[in-house]
Structure 1
Amino acid sequence: MVRLLAILLTLLGLAAPLNAQESGRRIEYDRIAAAGLPDQRLTIWLPPGYDAGEHRYPVVYMHDGHNLFDVKNSNFNKIWAADGAMLAAVRTGKVEPHIIIGIWAPGKDRYRQYLPRSAYDLAPPALRAQMDAAAGGEVVSDRYLAWIAGPLKDWVDASFRTRPGRDDTAIIGSSMGGLMSCYAILERPEVFGRAGCVSSHWPAVDPRAVAGEDSGVRQMWDAWFAARLGAADGRRVWMDHGTATLDQYYAPYQQAIDAQFAAAGWQKGRDFESRVYEGAEHEENAWAARLPEIFGWLLAAD
């Protein structure tokens, strides 16, 4: 029975590869110093065949790297299974293998590292006070973005066989990491050509505390996107959310943001995608279930 199940899963493209040559290779880096930030940590995944050739690879940077590959490192005993999702996307023939740079979240400092600083600066006083309470310290996402786009990317491009251009550099995250990914492609469009903003936490704080129209959240995002989005210019952005648990609060914000993309001339289905997953919760299993689809659209070769 077990063998039959393995055969069925393989035919469906869902089974884990059988050995390291087929599954790629992971490398861990601990306690990386980054100016003005808590120490950072990386898990890097190299695609199958990387060690056997001279091919250069596009790169996808992913937040919450501890939740990407290995359950023993994860917060909630759930993972994105990002390596398996990449292999599944590659098997479709539409996506090239990518190197995955998993950047671990810095524990209690996650919120202040992922909250877009330029949006925070636009928040009205009452909303900013709630953000300050959640952050528990200075909002440092501008430094985090500068580190990823500068020293980290420079090191990755020097240390691995990458294709360093904008159109070969993606950034993906969920919840606050979704906000951070959107921040990256808006603030550094010359570096990041593709962004995955999964279950983005658009309320920014407890959604129940900012449910009213006078909270300033919608106005903050409206002003932020209006000032920074610009034309697509070859960029590609994936956005989505579920309808259960925390994701149940996101639809009104996402609909307004979709309208901002359309108003800026981005074409849905070509330049940006925005999808709703009925019944999906705000958690890693839900994100893992749709990650092959996210990779398949966002990272597809033009």
Structure 2
Amino acid sequence: MSQSQVPKVSSGKIVRLENFPSKLISARNIDIWLPEGYSNRKKYAVVYMHDGQMLFDSTTTWNKQDWQADEVATKLMKSHKTKDFIIVGIWNGGETRHPDYFPQKPYESLSLNQKDFVIDELKKIGRTEKNFQPVSDSYLKFLVSELKPYIDQNFSVWNDPANTFVAGSSMGGLISMYAICEYPEIFGGAACLSTHWIGIFSDNDNPIPEAFLKYMEAYLPSPKTHKIYFDFGTVTLDAFYPKHQAKVDELMLKKGFTSNNWKTLKFEGEDHSEKAWAKRLHLPFEFLLKK
């Protein structure tokens, strides 16, 4: 991954780990945001966020938008609405983003015909040239066995699930859902914004949402110890999500989740963009990290 400028933040500071090496996935930049006044004399919760290059500085992103994660986090901590936390922004691997983030076990549960359908759909829009094979099990293993130990060792953080969270949007929402299901002993909460339940970019005869539901039915973590946040807009790509989210919500109720440990929010008229996610990022942060 090329050297690129470190994002400028309005408060706190970014520590860049350039091309963080991994035995499991391609090397990538990690941008760690530390709040103003960060000190080794106290400990912080940690939010691991996907698509790390989109989080902090719109002047460095491809679409000139960002999540304003530093502003949002600073405001919440200053008003004592959340415990103190740091953000670990994990860059996506560019062309590896779709295979890195696509939940692997649900994909592997598809029939051969269904996999062919998925591959054809992804080829149509140029998301894959060859046969598509998710590697999200390796991506999550990287997160918990390579990156998290590094963060725990080098920063002043709590390392228990009650203080360890994962967050992302779209495909990043899917991998956040997958992370808390696969590693409930690591992550105590997940924020899944505009979760890309359709996995591809068409919803006709699409077997993927059903595969995700079946997987979640088997692997959702305990509502006694975990919190999950979902949301969606209603236009552009988000227009696909309401009907699928409704089925997920049914499952959450069935699994014993209540308003104490689960939220699904609808944002009428909001689209699929960093601008939209920035406007509401305070909600999942507050829900997961409230004091």
Q: Would the TM-score normalized by the shorter structure come out above 0.5?
A: yes
CA distance in 2, matches of 1:295, 1:152: 21
1:246 aligns to 2:233 (yes or no): no
CA distance in 2, matches of 1:233, 1:131: 35
CA pair 195-230 structure 1, distance change in 2 beyond 3 A:
closer
Q: Secondary structure of the equivalent of 1:161?
A: coil
1:199 aligns to 2:199 (yes or no): no
Q: In the alignment, which of 255, 261, 266 is matched to residue 252 of structure 2?
A: 261
Quick check: 2:107–2:208 contact (8 Å CA) kept in 1?
A: no
Structure number with greater Rg is 1
Q: Secondary structure of the equivalent of 1:202?
A: coil
Deviations 1:4-25 (A, max 9, x none): xxxxxxxxxxxxxxx98x8111
**1:226 to partner: Cα distance:** 1.2
1:183 equivalent in structure 2: 178
1:161 equivalent in structure 2: 156
Letter paired with 1:38: S
Q: Whose helix fraction is larger, Structure 1's or Structure 2's?
A: 1
1:293 equivalent in structure 2: 283
Quick check: 1:170–1:192 contact (8 Å CA) kept in 2?
A: yes
CA pair 248-139 structure 1, distance change in 2 beyond 3 A:
same
CA pair 211-89 structure 1, distance change in 2 beyond 3 A:
farther
Deviations 1:77-123 (A, max 9, x none): 10001011101222332201211000011111100000011111122
**1:230 to partner: Cα distance:** 4.3
Letter paired with 2:148: K
Quick check: 2:101–2:174 contact (8 Å CA) kept in 1?
A: yes
Alpha carbon RMSD of aligned pairs, Å? 1.7
TM-score, length-scaled by structure 2: 0.90
1:234 aligns to 2:189 (yes or no): no
**1:235 to partner: Cα distance:** 0.5
Deviations 1:20-44 (A, max 9, x none): 8x81111112212212311121110
1:60-79 mapped onto 2 (5 Å cutoff): 60-79=47-66
CA distance in 1, matches of 2:263, 2:285: 12
2:93 equivalent in structure 1: 106
1:142 equivalent in structure 2: 137
2:38 equivalent in structure 1: 50
Quick check: 1:124–1:216 contact (8 Å CA) kept in 2?
A: no
TM-score, length-scaled by structure 1: 0.87
2:16 equivalent in structure 1: 28
Q: How many residues align?
A: 276
Quick check: 2:24–2:141 contact (8 Å CA) kept in 1?
A: no
1:223 aligns to 2:218 (yes or no): no
Gap runs ≥5 in structure 1 = 1-18
Q: Secondary structure of the equivalent of 1:50?
A: coil
